[in-house]
Structure 1
Amino acid sequence: MSEAGSGRTVVVAGGGLAAAKTAEALRGEGFEGSIVLVGAEAVVPYERPGLSKGYLQGSAERASLDVHPADWYADNAVDLRLGAAVTALDVAGHAITTADGDRTRYDTLVLATGSRARRLDLPGADAAGVHHLRDVGDSERLRAALRPGARVVVVGGGWIGLETAAAAVTAGAQVTVVEVAELPLVRVLGPEVARVFDDLHRAHGVDLRCGVGVRDVVAGDSGEGANVVHLDDGTALPADVVVVGIGAAPNVELARDAGLELGGRDTGGGVCVDEHLRTSHPDVLAVGDLAAAWNPLLGRRIRVEHWANALNQPAVAARTALGVPASYDRPPYFYTDQFELGMEFTGWFDPTQPYDLVVRGDLDSREFVAFWLVEGVVAAAMNVNVWDVTEHLGLLVRSRATPPAAHLADPAVALADLAEG
C-alpha cells in the first residue's frame, strides 16, 4: 500500500466504538483512500459502557455516548452507511453484502461487529418484562422500567448484572441478584476480592442468591401480573422486571461463513487474529469484542469484552492496514462504578489456577490496591477507591516484575518504583 493509500478502500463493518475509532485512526495515519463504515443500527457509532452506568441511571445525556458527532464522518470523508447490517463476506472477491442487497468491494476489511447479549435458554425467557442490555434502546427501556418499588430480578452476577443492580437500587427498586457461582465475580476476581462486591451489594439491600440457577420464568397473576422467576432450589421470585446479564457472545457468523479461523472455548470464541490484528486472511482484520487476539505480553490468545480494547486496538489495525509495523500487546483494562465503589483493573489472570493475592490497604473498608501474582509475577492489579495510580499499575503489569510481596503491601513503597523489582 502506498503511503497515503490513495485509490484504495477500507471497509469497517460495525457500529460501535471500535468501528468509529478505526476510521479515526486511518485518517490520523494519513490514509487518503475511501473509508466505508457499515453499521447495523440506524444511529451513529456510540460507546456502550454508559448503557449500564450513567445513561441507565439518568445522569448522562444521550449525546455523551456518541464516539463522534454526526458531522464528524462527513468532515473526515467517511462514507457512513447505517441501518444495514453486513450479511455476507466474500473474502475471495474482497466484497461485503449488506441486508439491503448492496455489494461493496474492499482492499482491506476491518471486522468490528462486536458481540450480543447471551439469552437464557429456558422456558419463559422471552416473556414480557424480561430485559437484556446491549444497545441504547435496551438501556432506555430498562431505565423506564426501573421505578421506585419495582421488584427487579437480575440473572447473573457479573459486571453488567451488578452495575444494573446498583442502578436499580438507586432508582428505588427492590433488587434480587441470582448467580449460579458461589459469589458474584468470583470467576473474574477470585473469592477474596469477589467478597468485597458481595458485601457491597448486601450492604445496599440487594438480595443476593448465590449458588443457584434459574429454572424458568412464568407469566402469572402474582403482584398484578408480574412474572415469576423460579429458581433451581424451588424459590419463586415475583418480578416486575427481569434483567438477564449472563455475558455476551461474539458475532462470528460473518467470519465463520467466510471460512476465517475462529477461537476455541479457551478464548471465549471470537475470530482469531495475530498480534497485528490480522485474521487468517491477510486482508481481513478484526478488533474489539470480536477479536480473539494473540497477546505477546501474555504469551496467549485472549478475547476481552471491555471498552479499552475497542478504544486502543483500532490504532494497531489502522497501521496494519497501511503496512506500518504495529502489534497490540496492552494488558486488558476495565473499570466499574457501583454505589460508592469505583475501581480500575489492569492485567489478566485465571482465578481457577494458582495465584497469590497481595492487598495494599483494607478490603473491608473498600479502599485498597490488590495485586494478583502468578509464579511471583504481578499478572494483574486493581485499585478500588484509590485514584491516580492506574498508570503505575499498568507499567508494573507490563514489566512482568517480581517485587517482594511485602513491598506490594507496604504503602510506604511508591507504586512507581515497584516495576523496578
Structure 2
Amino acid sequence: MGGGIAAYKACEVLRGLTESGHDVRVVPTEAALNFVGAATFEALSGNPVHTGVFTEVPEVQHVRVGKEADLVIVVPATANLLAKAAHGIADDLLTNTLLTARCPVAFFPAMHTEMWEHPATRDNVALLRSRGLVVAEPAAGRLTGKDTGKGRLADPAEIVDLARLLLAVPKALPRDLEGVRVAISAGGTREPLDPVRYLGNRSSGKQGYALARVAAQRGAEVTLVTAHTVALPEPAGAKVVHVSTAEEMRQAMHAEAASADVLVMAAAVADFRPSNRADHKIKKSDDAPDPVVELARNADILAELVRNRAQGQVVVGFAAETGDDKGGVLDHARVKLKRKGADLLVVNAVGEGKAFGTEDNSGWLLGADGTEIPIPLGAKAELASTLWDAVVTLMKR
C-alpha cells in the first residue's frame, strides 16, 4: 500500500477480500501509515503489519511474503511506487516484496491527473505492463481539493472483483484490446405506463458492468450504455451513457456502433412497451373496470446492429433462456443465434436465484461457426474474461 490520500480506501478492499475468505497480509510503506494506522490494518486482516526489512529478520519477510503470496495488489499505487517498481528499487518491505513475488502483481494507481499523464509515469506504466504486470486504468472523478480528472483510485468493489478474477484466472487481464473500440449495453430498460408505473425486469446490470470493467483493463476504449441497475460503481476507464427506455438504448447503441469495433448487447431490453402512456397516474376505483394494458413490440436492437454492422465489426448477444415443452435452454439459444445473426451469443439459464441479480454466472458461449463453450459457475468477471478471449480470437481471423 502506497502513501496517498486514497489509502483509506484500502480498508474497504481489505474487508472485501477477507469477507471473500482470503487471507490478506498488508504491507504498507511508511508514508501510507501517515494516512491509516497499522492497528487498523492489523484489526481488519488479523495479521501483523510491518514496513521494514529489519523486523522479524530470522523469517526473511521480504522473501517469504513475496514467495508465499498467490496475488500481490498495490492499493493505492502512487507515482513514486510505480517508478520504484519499474526500476527495481527496493528500499522497504513493500518494494522488496515486489521483487520477490512470482505470482500475479497488480497495481491500482491513484494520483493527480498531471502525474498520471506525465511522460515519466507513462513510461514506467508501459515498462511494467511489458513485463506482464497489471497496471489498472484509474477512474476519472473528484481528486483531492477541488481538482477533477483521471487518476482517481478505482472503486474498492471493482478492485476486489478484479483481484478475485486474477486469483481465479491469473492471466485474465492482458493488454490485448489496446486500440479496440467497444460499446456494451447493460441493465434493464423501463417502459413507462404512467408517471408512476413502468414495465421492467430483474436485470441488475452486474454482468454488463463486469464486461466493461474487464475490457477497459485489457486496454479497450469502452463506452457503457446503461439502463437501470442496482447501485454499481462506474467502471474505471470507461465512458458511461445513461438511458432508460428501450428506444433510448436503441438510439444510443446505434450512435456508438458507428465507430465501434465490437458491440456487446448484454442489457435486458424490454420486448414490449405499453401502446399508450397515461399522462396521469392510473387510479384504482372500486366502481371502474380493471384497466387493460395494450402492448406494442419494441425494436430488436441486436438484430438491427447485425444488419447494419460495418465490415469486420464483431457483434455479441446475450440470451436469458428457460426450457419449455418445445425444447431446452440450448435448443432455444441455437435458434436465436441463427435468427439474430450475431457472431457470439452468451446464453444463461434463468430462474429463481440464477443470472439476474447474482454475483456469479454460468451458461454457454455459442459461436456462429457452431462452437459451444460451457461456462462454469463463477464470478461475472470470469465470464467476461472468457468472452473477451473469444472476441480477441475472432478479431485475429
- The TM-score with structure 2 as length reference comes to 0.30
- The TM-score with structure 1 as length reference comes to 0.29
Query: Which structure would you say has the larger Rg?
Result: 2
More helix by share: 2
